[in-house]
Copies of this chain bind each other. A is one copy, B any other.
Amino acid sequence: MILAKVVGTVVASQKNDGITGGKYLLVRACDTRGREKGEYLVALDLVGSGRGEVVLISQGSSARQTEFTYQKAIDCVIVGIVDRIEENGQVVFRKEEGR
């Protein structure tokens, strides 16, 4: 999985991916401190994540291994909201309270 930050939303009315009622979030790869860095992806949200949150992104066929995305033309999903990242013995990211 990769770390990414939720930075927005994407609306697409004409679709053919088999998904009804899903929420497509704009995410951007981020570093271990939650700083945006790198590519943007459009990920289907499976955990109710919101803007500013650091999330875990699962890609490829693994993105279809959930009840909601099973056999759907989806290759990128948010599978977790990150609470805390520890790197080399230090807490380098902590989810802000109230988010």
A contact residues vs B (CB 8 Å cutoff)? 1-3, 7-18, 24, 26, 31-32, 39-43, 46-49, 51, 56, 58-66, 71-77, 79-89, 92
Contacts and interface: CB of A to CB of B under 8 A. Distances in A.
Given A2-B42, A32-B26, A88-B51, A11 B83 contact: yes
A69 to B, nearest CB: 8
Contacts of A18: 65-66
Nearest to A52: B88
A75 to B, nearest CB: 4
A20 B25 CA distance: 25
Nearest to A15: B80
B62 A65 contact: no
